């Protein structure tokens, strides 16, 4: 599609303003590594909270939500809604502990909680593993969404899309550091939310989009009705209920490590908690983040995804079966298409492409966007497909909102990843006498390298949901360890090393080894899929193996030295039965007022009630169930008031 000069002016103006906002912090951020990576530990809660949610408001998230809604229905979002439990636990139990640690990065935790070479190796290895490899994979997922948006909306090549999308963020992220990113995040989040809301309003009320002119008409559509439920229906059987709801809520949230929803906090969320003025601001920031992230953001995307089912309907099962049969019968032609499709006649090439799309259920998307590469032709392109129907002027704003989402996430991950490389690897193991200016220079160079490498990986990826599942699998079984290490003296560095190695090995096995070995077919034949689907079984098996492994290693290896444990206990003041042995042996005084973790856990549950009832209340109001929606919103308000009173009992400095 061609973009008007009005839209182009809006987009260019937005880019220049973001670069100006982010770069305004350049002088302040260049003073020291603390200023560049932690904003001098001076950030207020409201700015940090918005920054946290902007970090997770990436341009791949609407694509991911659209993919989930189209393939699993609205209830499929429990895969990430369940992480609210993790988020609220971080708010009321761990945020104050992180800020109390006064660390430069969350990886510095390893050398205050553990000791010796294992702790140092763990810190250095995870600096590269998370800061480089894992971080590149996350940024590549975000860049993949940008590539799909560029192809669907503007017909841009993947390389051109990445060059255009990365130029602005490279400037302000490298110049402004964390301060520049946080300032820009606040501005970008505002633009991104306005764009998302307008996209939903226009999609519902414009007759040009699927002929839908109201929510009532939308929810009367049979395909939409089949996917509207916020909870899995009984029609899917036990397997759907286990996979979509029970597993995420009962197990996944506390036993799976995922960026932005780390059990016990960590990553760029911890980075922002560490940059807060004090413990109160750290707690306030994470609480605001969870309300905005789970209660406020999802519905505009969900509405657009539901409208996309009308505009770009899923291929009916009968047509999918017919397409698969055709592909089997014409295997030679399909093989020629895969090997050298550019040599085939245009008509034959188009026929194979369409049949493959029909077999995958995305035939309407293939017809609507004939120039999109086959590797990107998935359900998640329905979101940018819907955006491409927006009117002149508003299209520019919505594209700017997607660019804002991309830039805020990439800038966050660049700063976070480079902080690991500089402070936890380079300054720790390579050049210990690193000056502040050298640290900032190395950080900026690392950012540029990460940006380039993530772009290269994005060209290889295909689907945001696939990447989400891989990240979940890699983190399976490690979450419980990250929760308990603050409160149980027996955990040591070898516990963490073993958890990391086992979870990664299990993820690699399921990604590349299980298929050739026939594991999936054997599980299907044994009837396992009547209980849960394959992805859920992979997660459960990964959790069981990893948890059993690190617990065994914990008891088979010696505990940390008493002086190390006593020093950590005295500094962090986590308290509880898990430290009584250390407190008694070192004659440490008990915390005044007793152990407040039970109060924190109660606040966690009340906070979850407040956010989830707000989420479902808004959804029911949109669905037309005014009485139920209003009642749920009233419960949310009452829960929030109760939460504020309970939270006052938690000791903060």
* Local confidence band at 1 (pLDDT 50, 70, 90 cut-offs): low
Give the pLDDT mean for 157-184. Answer: 85
Query: Do 451 and 138 touch, CB atoms closer than 8 A?
Result: no
Q: What is the 3-state secondary structure (H, E, C) of 311-353?
A: HCCCCCHHHHHHHHHHHHHCHHHHHHHHHHHHHCCHHHHHHHH
Domain segments of the chain as ranges: 1-237+277-314+391-463, 319-387
Which tokens belong to 378? 């998935």
Checking if the pLDDT of 38 tops 90, the result is: no
Which tokens belong to 641? 């008031």
Residues contacting residue 165 through CB under 8 Å, at least 6 positions apart: 143, 146, 150, 403, 406, 407
Closest CA relative to residue 379, chosen from 287, 472, 305: 305
Q: Which residue has the tokens 């937005």?
A: 14
Higher-confidence position of 38 and 1: 38
Phi, psi of 324 (to 5 degrees): -65, -40
* Local confidence band at 315 (pLDDT 50, 70, 90 cut-offs): very high
The number of residues in the chain equals 653
CATH class for the region spanning 1-237+277-314+391-463: mainly alpha
Q: Is the pTM of this model over 0.85?
A: yes
Which tokens belong to 565? 């444990």
Give the pLDDT mean for 419-446. Answer: 92
Compute CA 122 distance to the chain's CA centroid, rounded to the nearest angstrom: 24
Checking if the pLDDT of 210 tops 80, the result is: no
Helix (H, G, I), strand (E, B) or coil at 393: coil
Which tokens belong to 18? 């973001």
Checking if the pLDDT of 554 tops 70, the result is: yes
Give the pLDDT mean for 51-79. Answer: 89
* Each residue's pLDDT tens digit, 334-366: 899 888 888 888 899 999 999 999 999 999 999
Checking if the pLDDT of 533 tops 70, the result is: yes
Q: What angle do CA 323, 326, 332 make, to 5 degrees?
A: 130
Which tokens belong to 580? 């009584």
Phi, psi of 228 (to 5 degrees): -80, -30
The DSSP 8-state label assigned to residue 76 in this structure reads G
Instruction: List the beta bridge partners of residue 256.
Output: 476
**Taking all residues of the chain, what is their mean pLDDT, rounded to a whole number?**
88
Phi, psi of 461 (to 5 degrees): -75, 165
Share of the chain above pLDDT 90, in %: 47
Question: Whole-angstrom Cα distance, residue 453 to residue 479?
Answer: 28
Handedness of CA 81, 85, 91, 94 (dihedral sign): negative
Closest CA relative to residue 36, chosen from 167, 222, 236, 176: 176
Question: Whole-angstrom Cα distance, residue 592 to residue 57?
Answer: 40
Closest CA relative to residue 539, chosen from 550, 547, 551: 547
Structure confidence at residue 638 (pLDDT): 97
Q: From residue 381, how far is each of 359, 387, 404 by CA, in Å?
A: 17, 10, 18
């Amino acid at each position: 599609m061609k973009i008007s000069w009005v839209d182009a002016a809006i987009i260019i103006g937005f880019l220049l303003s973001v670069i100006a906002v982010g770069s305004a912090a350049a002088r302040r951020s260049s003073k020291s590594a603390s200023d560049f990576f932690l904003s001098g530990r001076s950030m207020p809660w409201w700015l940090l909270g918005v920054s946290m949610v902007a970090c997770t408001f990436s341009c791949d998230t609407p694509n991911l939500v659209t993919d989930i809604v189209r393939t699993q229905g609205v209830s499929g979002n429990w895969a990430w809604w369940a992480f609210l439990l993790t988020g609220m636990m971080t708010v009321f139990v761990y945020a104050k502990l992180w800020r109390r640690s006064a660390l430069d990065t969350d990886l510095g935790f390893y050398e205050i909680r553990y000791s010796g070479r294992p702790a140092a190796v763990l810190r250095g290895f995870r600096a590269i593993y998370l800061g480089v490899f894992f971080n590149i994979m996350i940024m590549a997922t975000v860049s993949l969404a940008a590539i799909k948006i560029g192809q669907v909306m503007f017909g841009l090549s993947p390389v051109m899309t990445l060059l255009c999308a990365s130029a602005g963020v490279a400037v302000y992220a490298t110049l402004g550091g964390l301060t520049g990113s946080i300032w820009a995040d606040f501005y970008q989040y505002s633009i991104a939310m306005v764009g998302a809301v307008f996209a939903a309003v226009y999609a519902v009320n414009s007759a040009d989009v699927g002929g839908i002119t109201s929510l009532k008409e939308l929810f009367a559509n049979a395909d939409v009705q089949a996917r509207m439920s916020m909870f899995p229906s009984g029609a899917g059987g036990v397997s759907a209920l286990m996979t979509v709801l029970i597993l995420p809520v009962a197990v996944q949230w506390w036993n799976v490590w995922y960026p932005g929803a780390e059990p016990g906090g960590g990553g760029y969320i911890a980075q922002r908690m560490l940059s807060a003025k004090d413990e109160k601001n750290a707690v306030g920031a994470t609480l605001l983040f969870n309300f905005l992230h789970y209660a406020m953001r999802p519905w505009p995307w969900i509405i657009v995804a539901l409208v996309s089912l009308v505009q770009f309907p899923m291929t009916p099962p009968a047509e999918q079966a017919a397409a698969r049969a055709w592909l089997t019968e014409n295997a030679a032609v399909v093989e020629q298409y895969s090997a050298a499709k550019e040599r085939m006649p245009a008509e034959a090439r188009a026929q194979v492409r369409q049949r493959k799309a029909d077999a995958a259920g995305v035939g309407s998307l293939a017809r609507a966007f004939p120039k999109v590469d086959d590797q990107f032709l998935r359900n998640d392109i329905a979101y940018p497909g819907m955006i491409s129907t927006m009117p002149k002027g508003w299209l520019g704003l919505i594209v700017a909102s997607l660019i804002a989402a991309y830039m805020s996430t990439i800038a966050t991950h660049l700063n976070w990843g480079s902080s690991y490389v500089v402070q936890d690897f380079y300054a720790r193991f390579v050049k210990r006498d690193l000056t502040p200016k050298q640290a900032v220079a190395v950080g900026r160079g690392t950012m540029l390298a990460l940006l380039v490498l993530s772009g290269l990986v994005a060209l290889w990826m295909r689907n945001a949901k696939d990447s989400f599942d891989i990240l979940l699998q890699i983190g399976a079984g490690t979450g419980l360890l990250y929760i308990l290490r603050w409160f149980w003296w027996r955990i040591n560095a070898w516990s963490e090393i073993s958890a990391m190695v086992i979870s990664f090995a299990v993820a690699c096995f399921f990604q590349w080894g299980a298929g050739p070995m026939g594991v999936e077919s054997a599980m299907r034949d044994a009837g396992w899929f009547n209980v849960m689907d394959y992805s859920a079984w992979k997660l459960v098996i990964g959790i069981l193996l990893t948890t059993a492994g690190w617990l065994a290693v914990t008891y088979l290896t010696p505990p940390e030295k008493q002086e190390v444990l006593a020093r950590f206990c005295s500094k962090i003041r986590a308290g509880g039965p898990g430290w009584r042995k250390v407190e008694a042996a070192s004659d440490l005084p008990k915390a005044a007022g007793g152990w407040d973790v039970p109060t924190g856990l109660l606040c966690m549950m009340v906070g979850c009630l407040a956010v989830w009832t707000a989420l479902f209340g808004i959804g029911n109001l949109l669905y037309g169930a005014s009485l139920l929606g209003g009642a749920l919103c009233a419960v949310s308000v009452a829960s929030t008031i109760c939460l504020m009173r309970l939270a006052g009992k938690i000791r903060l400095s």
